[in-house]
Amino acid sequence: MPDIGIRFDGFESVQETLRVAKLAEDAGVNTLWMTEHIGYRESLVSCMAFAMKTKNVMVIPAAVTPYLFHPTPTAMSLGTIAEAFPGRVGVAVAIGNTLDLKESGKEPKNPIKVVEDYVADLRSLWTTDPVERESEAYRLAGARMSFKNQNEIPVYVTALGSDVARKAGEIADGILMSAGFSVSFVEACLKLFHEAASLTGRDAQNLRTAAFIHFSVSEDGRKAREDVRKKLAFLFRNRLMAENIAASGIPIDQDAIVDAITARDIEKAATFVPDEAIDAFGVAGTIAECKKSLEAYVATGLNEPVIQVAGDEVSKSLALQVIREFTDI
């Protein structure tokens, strides 16, 4: 039986998110992921709430960026959640969304090195050893934690392209691929991830692989497709998605999308996402169509597709039904 997770974007109220989280656990999901969008509900706090509301699922903030999350308080927060809920917390580390970073006054120059250092520093902090680091994103001058983490906290690295997929294979416990990856691009990144792991002497089969998938389901499929169109427009504001877009061969005006999103006009941004992009970069349609599309992602060797349960009550109910049917494969 394949694993399946769900992700939340922080757009809905905490109360509604917790309600859906419990329903999703009952439907059979394995993980709850909380994405970090600047200005919306915060991921680490949300994951603590998820763990308190549910019984067995793993909770994962996705993704913390070294440019905005200093490693010391981040290690403290994760260590605290892990102590309260042993074996139920992980973390995904990412470069971050380029537009969010720009609006926060950050301009990454060597982001892959920063992510590599950040992963190492989180692990070192959890041992209570003092940590020294001069990074373009943060500074550690003998920082240390006063309590030792006794529980495994798997660290994922979020990949938006091939270079980070390789780095994830070298250093991480797992790879999280960005939403909006096509099936073929997921397959290519998994190959790079496993090759890099093997070259560094690691057993690739013991590493975790997950991918966010822009997902929507409706009774006739049409509403779902328009929903995914908007989600892709919001995603493609990130310049780091350029490699994935180019690999598809689908002409998409990313400059126009960035301009529209910067102006907070999602409706206009969606007009630059063509119909063929919905099928290439997302999962949308009826229950049967969505289940079939998810199976195509799993066929690449992906351990865990991560979908959204969002929208109105009908949409959420249909999404939970997809989860129930998918976990019965």
Question: Could you give the domains of the chain?
Answer: 5-221+283-326 (3.20.20.30)
Count of Cβ atoms closer than 10 Å to residue 22 Cβ: 15
Report the pLDDT value the prediction gives residue 217, as an integer from 0 to 100: 94
Report the pLDDT value the prediction gives residue 1, as an integer from 0 to 100: 64
Residue ranges, the chain, pLDDT below 70: 1, 329
Between the CA of residue 73 and those of 76, 79, 105, 174, what are the distances in Å?
5, 10, 20, 22
Three-state DSSP state, 6: strand
Report the pLDDT value the prediction gives residue 173, as an integer from 0 to 100: 97
Report the pLDDT value the prediction gives residue 99, as an integer from 0 to 100: 73
Q: Around 103, how many Cα atoms within 13 Å sit in the side-chain half-sphere?
A: 14
Report the pLDDT value the prediction gives residue 309, as an integer from 0 to 100: 84
Report the pLDDT value the prediction gives residue 329, as an integer from 0 to 100: 52
Report the pLDDT value the prediction gives residue 254, as an integer from 0 to 100: 94
Cis peptide before 63 (omega within 30 of 0): yes
Report the pLDDT value the prediction gives residue 62, as an integer from 0 to 100: 93
